[in-house]
Amino acid sequence: MACSLLHFCYFHDLKPIHEFLFPHPKGEAKGGDKEHSWEDEDWGTWEDGELKESKEDKSSSKAPTVSWLQDCVISLSPTNDLMVMARDQRAVFLVPKWKNNEKGKDEMQYCVTWSGALNVEEGECVSSAICIPLASQKRSSTGRPDWTCIIVGFTSGYVRFYTENGVLLLAQLLNEDPVLQLKCRTYEIPRHPGVTEQHEELSILYPFALVTIDGFSLFQSLRACRNQVARAAASGAESVQPPPLTYKKWGLQDVDMIVDHTSIGIMTLCPFDQLKTASILGGVNATVKSSPPAMSAYVTVGSGPFTGFFYSLEGSTQPLLSHVALAVASKLTSALFNAASGWLGWKSKHDEETVQKQKPKVEPATPLPVRFGIPDSRRRGEHICLSPCNTLAAVTDDFGRVTLLDVVRGVAIRMWKGYRDAEVGWIQVVEDLHEREIEKSNVSPFSSPTGLRRVAQFLVIYAPRRGILEVWSTQQGPRVGAFNVGKHCRLLYPGYKIMGLNNVTSQGWQPQTYQICLIDPVDGNVKTINVPFHLALSDKKSERAKDMHLLKRLTVLLKAKVSNPENLETEIKMHLLDIKYPTMKKQALEKLLASKSISLSCLTNLIQALLDSLMNQDPESVDEGLLQFCLSQLKLLHLYTCVNKLNAEDVEQNGAKTNNELASLLRLEESESAKIQTLLDNYRHGKTKNTVQFEDDENCKLPIQMFLDFLEYEKETVHVKKVDEEEYVALGNFFFWKCLCGKCSVEEMCQLLESAGVRPQQFLSLLLSMWLFREKDILKNQESISFLHIMLSLLIKMKGAIDVSWDFQSVSPWWQQVRTACAQAENVGAALLAALIGRSVSISVTNSLAEKDIQETEASDGMTDSWEALSLDMEHWNMLLRQLEDCLVLQTLLQSKGNKPACGHSEPLSRISVKKLLEGGRGVVADGVAKWIFKLDLTPSILKQAHQSRRLESTEEPEEKEHSILFHEKCRELGLERILEFLRLAYERFPYSLESDVLHAHCCWEYVVQWNKDPEEGCFLSRSVDHLKCVDNGHVQRGIAVMMWNTFIVKRLSAAAYLMDKVGKAPKDRLCRRDVGMSDTAMTSFLGSCSLLIQTLMEAEISSDEMKEPFLQIEDTWSAIEGPTSIVDMALEQRHVHYPLAEHHYILAVIMHGIMLFGMKSVKIFSLFDSKGKNAFFRELTSIQLLPSGDMDPNIVSLRQQFLMKLVSAAVEELIQPPKTEHASEQHSYSEQNEDWPSVAVELSQNLQVNEDCIKRHHVCELYSHGIDHIGEEAILQVHDQEVLASQLLVLTGQRLAYALLHTQTKEGMELLARLPPVLCTWLKAMNPQDLQNKDVPIEATARLVRKVIELLPENHGQYSLVLHLLEAVDAISSL
């Protein structure tokens, strides 16, 4: 195992970030700014064959697009929850999120969460930034990061603190010079008792000053600021300016230039170093304290000196608390003074602007001279990076060197050359104790795996000029890894973890933190480096390194294509025996076992050779685990070879039996056997799903690698590992399928398994899994029944199959395992056969045990009669067989199909099993059948007739017989005859679960659920209401209707009502889709179904008072059923509805349906109701609401009358213009619906306190106005006040004659008009024929209308004489 680059996040698109940070593109590439020199040349690789330089496009045109990261300030939180990219005044905050990549896999992707400008002062720019995760203080998440603070340093000297969303928490001016670097140190648990515990700290570097802020006080201040900002944002108040931070400020002296720094922490000198330092500083007369003082050490890099070491004694200088107090006091004093100045009129606007622009006071620094340094007048340091153990530091300089410093001794211990513009970082790796090897010859307490874990540190160097990332072992170790990366990457090394932890909280949950990462702007990937611990131990004499080399060589050999297998075996054997470490040998052996290129014989020879070498070694030095592993693999290989040999024999055995022989074998009567055979035939013919068969499955071949992966040998027993169901089937197929086909000896296979030491229970599971999976082959060829009978009989005789202490009067665990497998199987045909065979074998075993007991008790009891033992197992077997037969009938029904194509909206029906039915609740059977009915779209009438035909089979009434014959002929025409037969069998098996009301209730619910998924399919809701009407019991019908109303209807109906009231007409399609979620056509159908649903609910409420609640039963076979409450049970739990409230909603639904159906306009539906009526809408139908009572407001009654008259007019108009539909049946249903609307309007008038006779008269007049006289003559009979109707019809007659005489203006008409009486002529001229909807009416129809008016008018009426004149005129016109 070597170093590796691991991808853990990526940028989907860096272009928007680049365009935001660089608003104006550069004119020249960065590569053109510097002249070409020898240092830019490709140096090549340092080791032979280890690296190959990556070829990149070096054209200057592409340089600005990929090298822009070098010009940005970048910081990534060590917990990888936030990244900051900044340049000049702009910054971008990014957070990682899980998103799908181009291949559809979930990957971490950085997404922009905030972007903007951070500058407050004019001209200031971002010079440094870090992201510090702060620990949570909650008890449930102790030690985990709570939020991340972004700390940004500016060229103005300001340091500002932000939240992840860019909210400013705190800003403080610590020095007026630009901020050079921000660095942080977090708490780490000391590895040894003698190591000084380091405290958390934030250090800020200025050109000649260093500011340090204690981590604990910073943590508390940031939490308080964040809470205060959150409260201010919630309340809308202004944020209170927080007090300044407490800090230490050191003035770094005796240094020419400082570029970077690092804080070593608190150091305590040893007595010798204390004496040496005292003598150097104080001479021979120096006084030495008894205890060495604690010092804070700081190291800077720059020039004059190249590296400088600074030490401050702890406690020598107090933090600037006095300055903090003075700043607070000064702030309060100036605030009071400014307020007083404003009150007394002293303050001017110019003074206010001056105060606002004035910078805060900057405190002076405490001088701190350099103690010593590494002088190099020509060298200038560029960057320093401290190691995690605080003992080493890597420094880069302008000469292209990387120097390794010992910061404790202050000396340079190593230097690397040729790394110009290098970026460095550290990786600390902790040893895994499980990988530590214990040498038998050198046992010591320090080598115990329970001792301290060793820690190794590696230096990571990124050379951008060469595009190489290298990993070096410190201090004097070799290079252990190298990677070709891009030349424009950025290496990020934070050097800290989570702030706010201590020695208690840091020992709990360890967060996932990264140590170092590399950002590649070319492909947008962010990678981290994985370094194994053992690379720190690797050198030329390391046995482990040699073993790893041999293991790699072995891997290459296994992957290579070899023409000579013998040479390959020899070479592999040589490498395998040369490996020293047992763990490495085991890894090599596992690779061999998993390789597909190694033959079985070669694999056996290699393991045998390794085993022989282990046997020849000293027993004390042999690894016992490796020895047992070799022995177990050899035994498994032997078992595989023997099974392969048996399967290859291909012995033909005759297992065919007659039906009588099979019935005898299964201990069944001939009638029972024939019935089961018929059920299996129906099931097999209905199961049309094809399964893919592979040649390996037919030949029972299993690769040796899979065989070894599935089985393990332990304690002289072969165990089957926990594998997937498909792998279980493959293994069972390998062992048993040839035996069940009669091509392999069952007895020899069982003997082989018993001699190998298998666990019978596990191999019984393999046998049953394979049997249940290959149902199609078993049902096609039932010869395997006898072979399975033999196999089970032999398996149960194996050692360990049945406990010797088992009493046949109790439940056998062995047979319970068989029953459980059959109950869980979804292939119920194979499960039924397995259960029949298992019961037969169980009876044989029980009888043999009983015979032994009889022989033992013969002498004392004298019992000699043979008898079949009854056991508790038999009761379980019989119950399971009845359940499997029921499941077989039900599954046959559910997989049957009709000639009509299935509904496209239906989902595939899930297969059933005994276990699913027992856990599915009392309604699981009806629910499955309802889904099947929806899939085939069977009408309620077919289900009702199917129920009735089952009851009519025993009747002798000729009419009912004839009706049943006609029904069956119709089903034969539709291709439903076979389906009805299966449905009848299901009714017989489940008389209670598929009772008529129960089935219709579930069908009703299934249709309404499917309609809710796709509201555009209004036929689903209509069919649901049809099924609801077929429910005979009022209690069930009412409960289902209430559940439908509350769950699916009321919300959509209320949305539709408010929309229609808002627009004042039938809304357009766009508005319907927006507010109701369906089209205008679908909403029309929906409103019609709503009115029918509420009408059915009201009828059920009345009928439920006259009948008892049904007593729901369950079949005895399924009495142990458990699970969720059924739909019918929930329906019976519903409360009674308030009938007037339901009627109130029915009126509204009918009105809305009429408006949508006829496209009526200028109708505000809520204006037809008073305030009480409006408030009662869309309440719980079971609640008591205050409804309108007494006489209604005349204005509302007038509006209602106008609406009903509009409704009648629209209905009559639709009669003469039927809608254009594709099917004649739809036209017929539309016409029937339209013809009924006038009677609906009359019914509404009774509930809306409108004179119903007025609506009837209006209906008659509209019919005659449209020329539908034959329907009008029938409607006249329903009018009570016929005298008023006659007056209205007289006007219609006059309009017809006026059109015939005055507007046609024929010669005969003019002559006739001249002969008419003057009174009649004047009256006709006053008529307006334009009011007629149909003017072209035959004169004979008008004559009949006049005679009808004469019949209706009394003789003493004032217009009776006018009607007589009209009659004469009509007769005269008819004679023309």
pLDDT tens column, 904-918 = 566 778 889 999 999
At 1198, the pLDDT band (50, 70, 90 cuts) reads: very high
- pLDDT of residue 191 exceeding 90, the answer is no
Q: Check residue 874 and give its pLDDT.
A: 86
At 240, the pLDDT band (50, 70, 90 cuts) reads: confident
CA dihedral (187, 191, 194, 199) in degrees, to 10, reads: 0
- pLDDT of residue 439 exceeding 50, the answer is no
Q: Check residue 1308 and give its pLDDT.
A: 66
- pLDDT of residue 684 exceeding 80, the answer is yes
| Better-predicted residue by pLDDT, 870 or 1134 | 1134
Q: Check residue 920 and give its pLDDT.
A: 92
| Better-predicted residue by pLDDT, 238 or 689 | 238
H or E segment and range at residue 1286: helix 1282-1298
Half-sphere exposure of 177 (CA within 13 A, CB side): 15
At 1221, the pLDDT band (50, 70, 90 cuts) reads: very low
- pLDDT of residue 528 exceeding 60, the answer is yes
pLDDT (average), residues 561-577: 83
Q: Which pTM value belongs to this model?
A: 0.65
**Across 691-764, where does the E strand assignment appear?**
711-714, 717-720
What one-letter code names the amino acid at 1203? F
Count the neighbouring beta carbons within 10 Å of the beta carbon of residue 1284.
14
Q: Check residue 248 and give its pLDDT.
A: 93
Counting residues of the chain whose pLDDT is more than 90, the rounded percentage is 43
Asked whether the bond before 318 is cis by omega within 30 degrees of 0, the reply is no
- pLDDT of residue 688 exceeding 80, the answer is no
Listed residue (135, 249, 181, 269) closest to 495, CA to CA: 181
- pLDDT of residue 45 exceeding 90, the answer is no
* 697-701, 1096-1100, 1131-1135: range with lowest mean pLDDT: 697-701
- Phi first, then psi, for residue 91 (nearest 5°) are -150, 155
- pLDDT of residue 523 exceeding 70, the answer is yes
Q: Check residue 797 and give its pLDDT.
A: 87
* 372-386, 727-741, 1209-1223: range with lowest mean pLDDT: 1209-1223
Question: Which range has the top average pLDDT, 256-260, 1267-1271, 1310-1314?
Answer: 256-260
- pLDDT of residue 338 exceeding 70, the answer is no
Q: Check residue 958 and give its pLDDT.
A: 52
Q: Check residue 1229 and give its pLDDT.
A: 41
- pLDDT of residue 1293 exceeding 70, the answer is yes
Contact criterion met (CB below 8 Å) for 909 and 873? no
Half-sphere exposure of 595 (CA within 13 A, CB side): 22
At 1333, the pLDDT band (50, 70, 90 cuts) reads: confident
- pLDDT of residue 437 exceeding 70, the answer is no
- pLDDT of residue 860 exceeding 50, the answer is no
pLDDT tens column, 1137-1165 = 999 999 999 999 999 999 999 999 989 99
HEC secondary structure over 1248-1268: CCCCHHHHHHHHHHHHHHCCC
Q: Check residue 325 and give its pLDDT.
A: 40
Q: Check residue 355 and give its pLDDT.
A: 41
* 74-83, 622-631, 696-705, 939-948: range with lowest mean pLDDT: 696-705
Asked whether the bond before 305 is cis by omega within 30 degrees of 0, the reply is yes
At 232, the pLDDT band (50, 70, 90 cuts) reads: confident
- pLDDT of residue 869 exceeding 60, the answer is no
Percent helix, strand, coil in the chain, to 5, is 50, 15, 35
The dihedral sign for the CA sequence 259, 265, 270, 274: positive
pLDDT (average), residues 341-348: 39
- Burial class of residue 1018 in the structure, from the number of CB atoms within 10 Å of its CB (0-12 exposed, 13-18 middle, 19+ buried): buried
Q: Check residue 698 and give its pLDDT.
A: 54
At 689, the pLDDT band (50, 70, 90 cuts) reads: low
CA distance 675 to 668: 11
Q: Check residue 1020 and give its pLDDT.
A: 94
Beta bridge partners of 405: 393, 412
Contact criterion met (CB below 8 Å) for 1165 and 1061? yes
Q: Check residue 995 and give its pLDDT.
A: 93
* 173-187, 946-960, 1199-1213, 1329-1343: range with lowest mean pLDDT: 946-960
State how beta strands 4-11 and 106-117 pair.
parallel
Q: Check residue 655 and give its pLDDT.
A: 59
For the chain, report the end-to-end CA distance as a whole number of angstroms: 116
Q: Check residue 919 and give its pLDDT.
A: 93
Q: Check residue 60 and give its pLDDT.
A: 37
* 337-346, 529-538, 921-930: range with lowest mean pLDDT: 337-346
Mean pLDDT of all residues belonging to the chain: 82
Contact criterion met (CB below 8 Å) for 1287 and 1359? yes
| Better-predicted residue by pLDDT, 19 or 508 | 19
pLDDT tens column, 407-427 = 988 999 999 999 999 999 999
- Burial class of residue 325 in the structure, from the number of CB atoms within 10 Å of its CB (0-12 exposed, 13-18 middle, 19+ buried): exposed
CA distance 704 to 707: 5
**Across 186-323, where does the E strand assignment appear?**
201-206, 209-214, 248-253, 257-268, 294-303, 307-313
Q: Check residue 225 and give its pLDDT.
A: 92
* 114-128, 686-700, 1079-1093: range with lowest mean pLDDT: 686-700
- pLDDT of residue 315 exceeding 60, the answer is yes
- pLDDT of residue 237 exceeding 80, the answer is no
Q: Check residue 1045 and give its pLDDT.
A: 95
HEC secondary structure over 877-938: HHHHHHHHHHHHHHHHHHCCCCCCCCCCCCCCCCCCCHHHHHHCCCCHHHHHHHHHHHHHCC
- pLDDT of residue 1200 exceeding 60, the answer is yes
- pLDDT of residue 330 exceeding 50, the answer is no
Q: How many residues are present in the chain? A: 1376
Tokens of 1017: 């399919």
Q: Check residue 511 and give its pLDDT.
A: 62
Q: Check residue 510 and give its pLDDT.
A: 62
Residues ≥6 apart with Cβ < 8 Å to 1144: 1173, 1176, 1177, 1187
* 121-135, 350-364, 1079-1093, 1282-1296: range with lowest mean pLDDT: 350-364
Q: Check residue 656 and give its pLDDT.
A: 65
Contact criterion met (CB below 8 Å) for 885 and 672? no
H or E segment and range at residue 181: strand 181-185
Contact criterion met (CB below 8 Å) for 451 and 445? yes
At 349, the pLDDT band (50, 70, 90 cuts) reads: very low
